[in-house]
């Protein structure tokens, strides 16, 4: 593998990498603001956001999938979910024929608190997305999925 510091990167590649880094920083700042808005630790707010997003898109998370999304061990996820459940923000249910399988659902209170933040925070992002044709968004989404896959592969390799 080439040394990234010695590799020849062309200007568009550098621009894309800088843009992705800038987006990551901006998104992290929004997560910090959501954490403050919800009066939750950042990790808890991020987890709650993942639970709400997955549930809203029709693919609710299990604790294991939540852990994968936020980079936490199963034990840490259990402690985090205990906090969110105690706060009345997440409910664990057994909705499958395999009763061992747990599904995470946001409570109505969590949805309402998140909705209030979302109404205040997403206008600019929604407007930017609406300016891009659907075919172009699909192309960008495919690229981002490739980049996420590459980053995940690198993380797996580094973990050994």
How does pLDDT run across 73-99, given as a tens digit for each residue?
999 999 999 999 999 999 999 877 776
Give the pLDDT confidence score for residue 100 in this predicted structure: 76
| Whole-angstrom distance, CA of residue 83 vs CA of residue 87 | 6
Residue ranges of the chain whose pLDDT lies below 50: 1
Q: What global pTM score does this model have?
A: 0.80
Q: List pLDDT tens digits, range 105-117.
A: 999 999 999 888 8
The two structure tokens encoding residue 70: 């936020």
Provide the CA 85 distance to its chain's centre, in angstroms.
Answer: 19
Q: Where in the chain is the domain with CATH 1.10.10.10?
A: 35-121
Give the pLDDT confidence score for residue 8 in this predicted structure: 83
Q: Does domain 35-121 have CATH number 1.10.10.10?
A: yes
Q: Are 30 and 67 in contact (CB under 8 A)?
A: no
* CB count in 10 Å sphere of residue 80: 22
* CB count in 10 Å sphere of residue 76: 13
Give the pLDDT confidence score for residue 1 in this predicted structure: 46
């Amino acid at each position: 593998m080439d040394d990234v510091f010695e590799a020849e990167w062309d200007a568009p590649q550098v621009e894309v990498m800088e843009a992705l880094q800038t987006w990551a920083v901006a998104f992290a700042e929004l997560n910090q603001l959501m954490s403050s808005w919800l009066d939750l630790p950042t990790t808890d707010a991020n987890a709650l956001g993942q639970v709400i997003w997955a549930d809203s898109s029709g693919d609710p998370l299990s604790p294991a999938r939540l852990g994968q999304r936020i980079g936490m061990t199963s034990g840490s996820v259990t402690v985090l979910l205990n906090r969110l459940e105690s706060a009345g923000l997440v409910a664990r249910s057994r909705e499958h024929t395999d009763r061992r399988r747990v599904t995470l659902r946001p409570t109505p209170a969590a949805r309402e608190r998140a909705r209030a933040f979302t109404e205040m925070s997403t206008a600019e992002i929604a407007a930017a997305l609406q300016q891009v044709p659907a075919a172009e968004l699909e192309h960008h989404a495919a690229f981002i999925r490739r980049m996420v896959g590459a980053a995940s592969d690198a993380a797996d390799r580094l973990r050994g």
